[in-house]
């Protein structure tokens, strides 16, 4: 899909998909396919959302390049054009990111999400080198993932402007910052040029929708996409009161998650899915599983919200 066309559908609920693993932590491709069909059955469609496999929620740092490719292909095939698929092509080695971007285009992905390299601090010069090299090897639209939690550096407004000016294929930004002032300035200056997507929408949506976000990155949409889509629909109808009420109904999920250190976040999401019999399985080391006490807390959240 051409970048300008992808920007038109690069909106709605962005499911940061978990990657299903077997109990021995091998890749569970059938589980990936079942999960993809579940998301479509629950209402994910072109125009209201995007599937995003192989990102940090999908544990990409603990996957081989071949496993990432297999996962991308399974999601694209099962989506069947019903909903756009935007695989994440992350690596601190730009050559690997390019390899993944080429493969995503080859199998028919609609666009790609790319975080800055990690380990080396992403200064402006390194950011430009990374994204320019990737853009030169694919015709797909690119969404930047401002993954400061992984890179240790927030992409500044000045650096974002330079990236947009230099690389026409950039169609969006996944903004993970909690700085509403930064959000406001970014949308004011650039929302006619790229799409802004709330990186922590399970906490920040629908509030950043008022500022100009056209998309909501959601981990809980892995298991309740229909309920997250209700929030999106309310915002599209400019019914922010209803959107706020729907959002607050789901806040127990985010509030319980806030008790955990960040390294247990993926385990938390996966355990909810396991309770709901949605293929997820365990996380891979070095991410550790929840304790028995924590699992009881997850079970209470699932029960209290009638998720099963």
pTM: 0.95
Q: What is the pLDDT of residue 260?
A: 63
Cα angle 11, 14, 17; round to 5: 155
Q: 147: helix, coil or strand?
A: coil
Cβ(171)–Cβ(144) below 8 Å = no
Least confident segment among 4-13, 87-96, 99-108, 254-263: 254-263
> Highest mean pLDDT: which of 62-66, 147-151, 181-185, 259-263?
62-66
- Percentage of the residues of the chain whose pLDDT score is greater than 70: 98
Which domains are assigned to the chain? Answer: 3-304 (3.20.20.70)
pLDDT band at 210 (very low <50, low <70, confident <90, very high): confident
Average the pLDDT over 191-213 and give the result.
Answer: 89
In this predicted structure, the answer to whether residue 305 has a pLDDT above a threshold of 80 is: yes
Least confident segment among 102-106, 164-168, 221-225, 248-252: 248-252
Q: 47: helix, coil or strand?
A: coil
Look up residue 197 and give its two tokens: 């997507």
Q: What is the pLDDT of residue 254?
A: 83
Question: In the Cβ-directed half-sphere of 179, how many Cα atoms lie within 13 Å?
Answer: 13
Q: Comparing C-alpha atoms, which of 182, 166, 116 is closest to residue 143?
A: 116
Distance CA 169, CA 104 (A): 15
Burial state string for 49-66 with b = 16 or more CB within 10 A and e = fewer than 16: bbbbbbbbbbbbebbeee
Burial state string for 68-84 with b = 16 or more CB within 10 A and e = fewer than 16: bbbbbbbbbebbeeebb
Look up residue 80 and give its two tokens: 């069947």
């Amino acid at each position: 899909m051409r970048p300008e066309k992808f920007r038109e559908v690069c909106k709605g609920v962005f499911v940061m998909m978990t990657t299903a693993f077997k109990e021995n932590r091998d890749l569970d491709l059938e589980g990936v396919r079942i999960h993809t069909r579940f998301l479509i059955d629950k209402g994910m469609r072109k125009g209201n959302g995007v599937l995003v496999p192989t990102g940090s929620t999908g544990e990409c740092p603990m996957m081989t390049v071949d496993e990432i490719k297999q996962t991308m292909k399974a999601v694209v095939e099962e989506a069947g054009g019903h909903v756009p698929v935007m695989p994440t092509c992350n690596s601190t080695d730009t050559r690997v990111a390019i390899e993944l971007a080429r493969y995503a285009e080859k199998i028919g992905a609609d666009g790609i999400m790319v975080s800055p390299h990690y380990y080396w601090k992403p200064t402006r010069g390194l950011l430009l080198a990374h994204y320019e090299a990737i853009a030169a090897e694919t015709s797909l639209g690119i969404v930047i993932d401002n993954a400061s939690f992984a890179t240790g550096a927030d992409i500044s407004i000045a650096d974002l402007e330079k990236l947009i000016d230099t690389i026409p294929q950039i169609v969006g930004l996944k903004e993970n910052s909690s700085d509403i002032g930064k959000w406001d300035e970014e949308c004011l200056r650039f929302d006619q040029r790229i799409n802004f997507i709330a990186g922590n929408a399970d906490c920040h949506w629908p509030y950043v929708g008022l500022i100009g976000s056209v998309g909501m990155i959601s981990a809980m949409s892995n298991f309740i996409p229909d309920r997250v889509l209700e929030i999106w629909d309310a915002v599209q109808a400019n019914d922010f009161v209803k959107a706020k009420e729907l959002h607050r109904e789901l806040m127990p999920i985010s509030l319980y998650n806030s008790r955990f250190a960040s390294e247990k976040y993926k385990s938390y999401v996966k355990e909810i899915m396991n309770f709901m019999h949605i293929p997820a399985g365990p996380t891979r080391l070095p991410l550790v599983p929840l304790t028995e006490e924590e699992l009881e807390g997850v079970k209470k959240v699932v029960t209290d919200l009638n998720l099963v």
